[in-house]
Structure 1
């Protein structure tokens, strides 16, 4: 009982001293503040759970500033950050069993084993912050997921064979999005085969991919020819086409595209479409934006394309959205 009273008296005495002299600090506080930010960030780098990192950021203002600082990002890049964490999957309510993956009306399904379930509420990663479609006559489709960002395409509800009405890259955790300017190449009679999200090319951005630093590769079919176009957010945003970004698919017929090129699946570097009545597949090199004919990889044969995409959060830059 006496020890408790003594501790309370010491705490009251320290509070009075701080009020009388706000600049005064204890020896322990002086020693803690003397630790360089770089050394402090190395300690935080040992925390492999995002929950522990959020708890550390809640301990005091200095730790919070250190975890959210650019110094932490530099230390992680120099010493190797822990792996990304899969916090759940984006599934689609209307799967597309034709040329482009994976379908319409994506929604978030949290993983039951992720440590992020203690930090991020499942409803927080829904896409209700996206711009509304006009008069309910268009639909959002999930095109790709990468580095905590989603690529979505908006299509007419009545003209599925048309090119997309627009593309959007969004960050569900920050609840922000960026509209990708339309390309003149998408106008007219073309069939959209798919779009894929890639890391950005602006090293000065400080991250491999972000809303200000990303690329996307799109494939369209027109008049018997499939062609790839690449978009980069660098330099204000621009569309380009590679010299090897086109290949003849089959027949000079716009309307037969759905029966000619069926999406077969995707790997980290390539996407594939099977071509009816031909023994080869159409392959897209996502990074180079180049198309070619090849044999469908064994791993994708007889396997239906996935209808949900794993959603990973790079660790630790996006931890700042939770702080």
Structure 2
């Protein structure tokens, strides 16, 4: 054994595989970032792609803020994500000035740190059924312009609504599955689904970054999905721009006015099939639902009952599967009285709640909170003046300095 000048044994170097196990147990990505700055060997170990994949599986992506029509709203102190959120806001370009300037761009979705936008022509009457799409990384100001949907696929759309001023289409990003983590760390993997709402059926087209091509994915007649539902009801209740979208265990779920009929629209992304599922029993409020992964393959549902805003219910399915038949109340979370709460968005780990005073809903201070679905801890993100009712998209990801690539 080697000794120092005083004859005492020198401490042995910790092998890399043990260091990796230590670093995996760091409580937060910010701690990992500071550790990587300690020395070259630490940084080389931490930035290794296999290590990053393991760390990403073990740690939930921190909620850094949300984006709405006013731009990016970062988490402010004392929220635990405030330091990382400030760094992101200072470094990223959420005005998307780096995108091509031949059209206006509108945000459609945010997922895994990436943003999906579609192009809007100067004249709204020129808006085609399928517009241009771009997936971008606002931190490194890089983007990929997706190819147009091929003519043969576009021609397969049956009877798009001729009355609506805008085509009833909605594109969105698919959250990464565990087997896609390698491509995600390298910054290359993503999938886009374009849902098309027609008079007689519902269709979906898929773009995969691995193939670089669009393909027809799913189609289902409304008469098979919701027997007995009239065309006018379908057109008013199932418009994709108003349906709220949730994701759990490889399936997308949509709700809106169908809360009244206790039904959810489901798209299984593994089989690429549409179906309908039942909500848990009870009168659910239109103040919003959140469908989440409750663990062990079971679905969980957060929501308000009977218009009550002072308690948030959490119901968990007893059985596994995309359409469970048995549910049990897990917990009722008490909220401050005197406020109206709404669920605005959700990720695999967090809810985004909006709160306003019931005594003064107009021009009042609107507060936004995150709720950890594992610990049920409520933490204030920020506050804004007024009650902006437009959609909110959570921005949650690891610190971009570690887990984002210079290119997509």
Report the TM-score range of the alignment, normalised by the length of the smaller protein.
0.5 to 0.7
SS in 2 for 1:120: helix
- In the alignment, which of 57, 60, 63 is matched to residue 39 of structure 2? 60
Decide whether aligned partners of structure 1 residues 234 and 153 sit closer, same or farther in structure 2, where only a CA change above 3 A counts.
same
Mark the structure with the bigger radius of gyration.
1
- Answer yes or no: is the 8 Å Cα contact 1:154–1:165 preserved in 2: yes
* Equivalent-residue separation in structure 1 for 2:173 and 2:184 (angstroms): 12
- In the alignment, which of 169, 172, 186 is matched to residue 196 of structure 1? 172
* Equivalent-residue separation in structure 2 for 1:282 and 1:46 (angstroms): 38
SS in 1 for 2:402: helix
Query: Whose helix fraction is larger, Structure 1's or Structure 2's?
Result: 1
Instruction: Tell me the matched-pair count.
Output: 272
How far the C-alpha of 1:133 sits from its partner, in A, is 3.3
Q: Structure 2 unaligned runs (5+)?
A: 161-166, 224-228, 289-341, 345-390
- Answer yes or no: is the 8 Å Cα contact 2:187–2:404 preserved in 1: no
Q: Per chain length, whose mean CA-contact separation is higher, i.e. which structure has more relative contact order (CA < 8 Å, sep 6+)?
A: 1
* Equivalent-residue separation in structure 1 for 2:263 and 2:403 (angstroms): 43
Residue 158 of structure 1 corresponds to which residue in structure 2? 123
* Equivalent-residue separation in structure 1 for 2:278 and 2:246 (angstroms): 14
Could you tell me the TM-score, scaled by structure 1's length? 0.67
SS in 2 for 1:206: helix
Residue 37 of structure 1 corresponds to which residue in structure 2? 16
Decide whether aligned partners of structure 1 residues 158 and 199 sit closer, same or farther in structure 2, where only a CA change above 3 A counts.
same
How far the C-alpha of 1:86 sits from its partner, in A, is 0.6
Task: Work out whether 1:91 is the aligned partner of 2:68.
Answer: yes
Could you tell me the TM-score, scaled by structure 2's length? 0.54
Decide whether aligned partners of structure 1 residues 310 and 130 sit closer, same or farther in structure 2, where only a CA change above 3 A counts.
same
Task: Work out whether 1:309 is the aligned partner of 2:382.
Answer: no
- Answer yes or no: is the 8 Å Cα contact 1:227–1:247 preserved in 2: no
- In the alignment, which of 226, 238, 244 is matched to residue 214 of structure 2? 238
Q: Structure 1 unaligned runs (5+)?
A: 1-25, 94-106
Decide whether aligned partners of structure 1 residues 302 and 321 sit closer, same or farther in structure 2, where only a CA change above 3 A counts.
closer
How far the C-alpha of 1:292 sits from its partner, in A, is 4.0
Residue 291 of structure 1 corresponds to which residue in structure 2? 274
SS in 1 for 2:41: helix
* Equivalent-residue separation in structure 2 for 1:183 and 1:233 (angstroms): 14
Decide whether aligned partners of structure 1 residues 274 and 281 sit closer, same or farther in structure 2, where only a CA change above 3 A counts.
farther
Query: Whose strand fraction is larger, Structure 1's or Structure 2's?
Result: 2
Task: Work out whether 1:133 is the aligned partner of 2:101.
Answer: yes
